[in-house]
Amino acid sequence: MSAPAILQVEHLSKSFRGLKAIADVSFAIAPGSITSIIGPNGAGKSTLFNLITGYLAPTAGTVRFNGRPITGMATNRIAELGIARAFQIARPFRDISVRENVRIGALFGKKGLRDVEATTERGMKLASLAHLADRRASALTVGQLRHLEVARAIATRADLLLADEPCAGLNPTETAAMIDVLRQIRSSGVTVLLVEHDMPSVMEVSDRLLVLDAGMLIADGSPHEVAKDAKVIAAYLGTPEAS
Q: Output helix, strand, coil percentages for the chain, rounded to the nearest 5.
A: 35, 25, 35
Distance in angstroms (rounded) separating the CA atoms of residues 103 and 139? 18
% of the chain beyond a pLDDT of 90: 75
Q: Is residue 92 part of a domain?
A: yes
pLDDT at 17 over 90: no
Query: Tell me: the pLDDT tens digits for 30-74?
Result: 999 999 999 988 899 999 999 999 999 999 999 999 999 999 899
Q: Residue 64's Cα: distance from chain center in Å?
A: 16
Residues 6+ apart with CB under 8 A from 167: 174, 175, 178, 179, 196, 198, 201
* Residue 229 located in a structural domain: yes
In a domain, 211, yes or no: yes
**Quick one: average pLDDT of 138-152?**
94
Instruction: Assess if residue 39 is contained within a domain.
Output: yes
Residue 98 lies in a domain: yes
Q: For residue 168, what pLDDT is reported?
A: 85
Number of domains in the chain: 1
pTM for the model stands at 0.90
The reply to whether 1 falls in a domain is no
* Stretch 215-232: mean pLDDT: 90
Residue 218 counted as domain residue: yes
The answer to the question of residue 242 being in a domain is no
Q: Checking DSSP bridges between strand 208-213 and strand 7-16, what pairing results, if any?
A: unpaired
Note down the domain range covering 138. 7-237
Taking a C-beta distance cutoff of 8 angstroms, is the pair 120, 106 a contact? yes
pLDDT at residue 239 greater than cutoff 60: no
What pLDDT was estimated at residue 243? Answer: 37
Q: What is the CATH number of the domain that holds 113?
A: 3.40.50.300
Across 146-168, average pLDDT:
94
Instruction: Tell me the pLDDT band of 237, cut-offs 50, 70 and 90.
Output: low
